Chains A and B, each alone.
Chain A
Amino acid sequence: MTPRVVVTGMGWITPLGHDLETVWAKLVNGESGVKPIDRFDASTFPTPYAAQVRDYDYRQYVTDPKVHEHAAMNTQFGLGAARQAWDQSCLGSYGELDLRRVGIYIGAGEGVLDFDAYAKVAMKSWDPDKAAVDAPEWARQAAVTMSRWGEIGQEPNMPMSHIAREFGIRGPAYNCLTACAASTQAIGEAVDILRRGDADVMISGGTHTMIHVLGVTGFIRLTALSRQEGDCTKASRPFDRGRGGFVMGEGAGMVILETLEHARKRGATPLAEISGYGSSADAFRITDMHPQGLGPAAAISEALNQAGLDPHALGPDGRPLVHYISAHGTGTKENDSVETLAIKKVFGENAPKIPISSIKSMMGHLIAAAGAVELIACVLAIRNSTLPPTVNLDLPDPELDLDYIPNNARHAEIEVCLSDSFGFGGQNDTLVIQKLV
């Protein structure tokens, strides 16, 4: 029989705060973490706002800050989230823990390029006549201008190496980077590693920041970001008729996953079970999702199938078997329409009966880390019998006719949640999160 996999610890560093309870309270209150960008001068950018992590110091979360002195910002976020999850799981006090059986599978983004140094080197070595940099001059300028550790720290596997070092992990170690789907995919594959018996415990989740000059520039050029003027807390409006793009967020979400057997053996408290995982590729276009949402629908169907849930059935309480969908819900025209279609395609007549929301309306889009924080929100929704709202949903879009939990949190008994993440480029991932019964 396939081993069951449970969550025994969770942690996050987000634009709404740095601990589970504070952030959850703000989500339930519908508070926004979006403010004008103050990390660089974005005043003339078409989108001058984002949801930044503020007042965060990773040093309080690590045993010896010297060991992590070169940690890039994404690594710093990841260390804080992983520490919270590790502490909640009480693994640190489990004397029989075999660190060779503890693995890590995260979806971390790349580190932040030092834009100022990069630009300085570029300007000093540019040859306008050749419309190219003078390569030897570029190399000489770069060697004296760019920071050695800043450059090394940008490798996407660096957050994982730091977290592995902090907790002494020696088991299977992976980082995946499938854009906005990365941490959902990481958690799904970590579940598979546990089911196969290749580890007893996995740290999983994601961490990312793209709130830097070139990150914001890149998404603006793709016309993916909201350009709404006025009150920037209103700019992220998933499923609203006036939605015009996403708002960037940043941060980390980490969970401790283990087999139910391992959790029970050491007397840990399982917070929820991850019972299904589906993954697919659109194989359609580089820039667009498949207009009928075939890829997302395939991922959702596979996740339900793995969890043994019939999307068309009703439970004894008259509700569909899935009680809540944490949407990818970015707030772009395309995503929210296609995601709605995919949900309808899978659930048919049951689709309007399932409450759906997007916490990106409040904390922005954490890119590679988005799926991990959304999974944590699902577990908290189950625990607290409360569904976080989609804020700024003021003008319903006539084509989007499902229940998106507009603006106000809702009380409901929740046993089964679905969490969707769809990446730029067409990689789709869905997880089923269940109350442990």
Chain B
Amino acid sequence: MQRRVVITGLGPITGFGVGIAPLWEAMVEGRSAIRRIEQFDPDGFECRIAAELRPDDFDVRKVVPRNHRKATKVMCRDTALAVGGAAAALADAGLNGADGDAAEPVIEPGRMGCHIGAGLICAEVNELCAALWTSRDDNGDVDLQHWGHTGMTNLTPLWLLKYLPNMLACHVTIIHDCRGPSNTITCCEASSGLSIGESMRVIQRDAADACLSGGAESKVNLMSMLRQTAAGRLAPTPADQDPATVVRPFDPDATGTVTGEGGGIIVVEAAEIAERRGAEVYAEITGMAATQSFCPDTVGLDLDPAGVEIADAMLLAMKQAGVGPDDIDAVVPLGSSIPSVDRAEAAAIKRVLGGRSAQVPLITTIPNTGNCNAGAGTVAVAVAANAIKTQTLPARLNTGPVEGLDAAACPSRPAELNHVLVSQTSQGGQNVAMVLQREGIE
């Protein structure tokens, strides 16, 4: 018989701060962390807002053990976010945390895996430009011959290591001594979901007992803002519009997404291990499936509006979980507010839920936390898991009435949530779906 896999710790990291408590409070109260960008002057971009994690809310040096403090200097922002999330998730799960003295390690280091999704990490522009500036020639261009013998020495020796996508997992595995299977999945918004799914498979095939799993990203930097603008993902922000009202998933008037910093880590664990150590369980992951969409433009900026493969992933995950459309109590889609992605997701939800699509509430997170990209799925899963645990639907923001979907803005309310379907779809057309099931139900 296959091992059951449960979620025992949540460590989301979002514009609201570190951990599930500040995120959940904001989700229930219907607050948004989206504001004008503060990390740089955003006036050169059409979209000048984001959900940023403020220095007061997170300092990575405070969450790493003393012997890893020096290594924070070679962490890029994305890595710091993952490190913060991991510490929060382990503490929430009651497992050995960063200080190492919270408890005896319950899970052998070799049986602890780590799967953290990451994005295309950009070198910090000022750091690189300061070095390039030393090699400029008389015309103001960079002289490669000067760069080759002298200029490049202005870059710190570990410069490259700072920006490798696998550094999120590397720092986390070092800090928490996770020596089991470790992977870094890089599929834009599907990265977190695919990573959590891979943790589930690794535990099921008995290669690990538990995994730190999730993803993190910050696209609040010049290069990433440029790329998102080039890809037509971001909503332009008129000066007179309240930033908190810009993201409107599934609304016919949606104009694009807004980026958010974060994602985080969750603890995924074999059910029998969790039971043995008396851990509190948020939910069981009973099904997971991944598919690739047909992308008319090849690169997956435009998705096939029928959303067939997004629906396929949901249906496969539901089949694995042994549930049908009547069993689904809520759906957490990507809900990015990017019109072409919204269209495909809406069609997929209708295809899967059939006549019930207007009755099954959607849970949207991006109006609150922004689109955390490689971390988006972790926010979605954390919110879904806590909704199940608290039997509460969070509030929804901004969206007006939508034909055939329960997506419009509404306050939080209690609800019976036995099965929640989480679905994420990426720039590039990768899809992942998961079924989370309430503990103790058949």
Residues of A near any B CB (own CB < 8 A): 40-46, 48, 67-68, 70, 100, 103-104, 110, 119-120, 122-124, 126, 128, 131-133, 135-140, 142-143, 146, 148, 151-158, 160-162, 164-165, 168-179, 185, 189, 192-193, 195-196, 198, 213-214, 217-223, 279-287, 294-295, 298, 302, 423-427
Contact = CB atoms under 8 A, between A and B. Distances in A.
A161 B183 contact: no
B173 A185 contact: no
Interface of B: 40-45, 71, 74, 109-110, 114, 118, 120, 123, 125-126, 128-130, 132-133, 136, 140-142, 144-149, 152-153, 155-161, 164-167, 169-171, 173-174, 176-188, 194, 198, 201, 204-205, 207, 222, 225-227, 229-231, 289-295, 298-301, 309, 312, 426-431
A427 B166 contact: yes
Contacts of A100: 291, 309, 312
A143 B126 contact: no
A168 B309 CA distance: 12
B164 A136 contact: no
Contacts of A198: 289-290
A214 B123 contact: yes
B183 A279 contact: yes
B201 A196 contact: yes
B292 A279 contact: no
A67 B291 CA distance: 21
A160 B426 CA distance: 12
B413 to A, nearest CB: 36
Contacts of A279: 180-183, 207
A123 B294 contact: no
Contacts of B298: 67-68, 70, 161-162, 165
A138 B183 contact: no
Q: Which of B157, B201, B227, B292 has the most CB of A within 10 A?
A: B292
A61 B122 CA distance: 31
B187 A152 contact: no
A404 to B, nearest CB: 28
A155 B290 contact: no
Nearest to B298: A165
A178 B184 contact: yes
A286 B194 contact: no
B125 to A, nearest CB: 6
Contacts of B148: 41-46, 48
B291 A170 contact: yes
Given A139-B45, A217-B152, A156 B430 contact: no
B133 A138 contact: no
Contacts of A48: 148
B105 to A, nearest CB: 12
Contact of A176 (B120, B156, B186, B295): B186
A182 to B, nearest CB: 8
B291 A172 contact: yes
Nearest to A147: B230
A207 B140 CA distance: 35
Closest 5 CB pairs of A and B: A139-B44, A218-B160, A44-B148, A425-B170, A136-B44
A185 B171 CA distance: 19
Given A173-B291, A286-B158, A427-B169, A135 B183 contact: no
Contact of A155 (B136, B147, B156, B428): B428
Given A152-B299, A158-B428, A287-B161, A281 B230 contact: no
B231 A152 contact: yes
A283 B177 contact: yes
Contacts of B204: 196
B156 A143 contact: no
A174 B185 contact: yes
Contacts of A179: 164, 166
A126 B204 CA distance: 52
Given A132-B126, A213-B147, A286-B171, A173 B179 contact: no
A427 B231 CA distance: 32
A175 B186 contact: yes
Contacts of B173: 281-283, 426
Contacts of B118: 177
A426 B174 contact: yes
Contacts of B144: 40-42, 44, 213
B299 A153 contact: yes
A42 to B, nearest CB: 6
Contacts of B155: 217, 221
Nearest to B79: A286
Contacts of A426: 170, 173-174, 182
B171 to A, nearest CB: 7
Given A138-B44, A161-B295, A218-B160, A286 B167 contact: yes
A189 B114 CA distance: 14
26 contacts: A42-B148, A46-B149, A70-B299, A122-B128, A123-B133, A123-B142, A126-B129, A131-B126, A136-B43, A142-B226, A143-B44, A151-B226, A157-B426, A165-B294, A169-B292, A173-B431, A176-B186, A189-B198, A193-B201, A217-B160, A279-B181, A282-B179, A283-B178, A286-B71, A425-B164, A426-B173
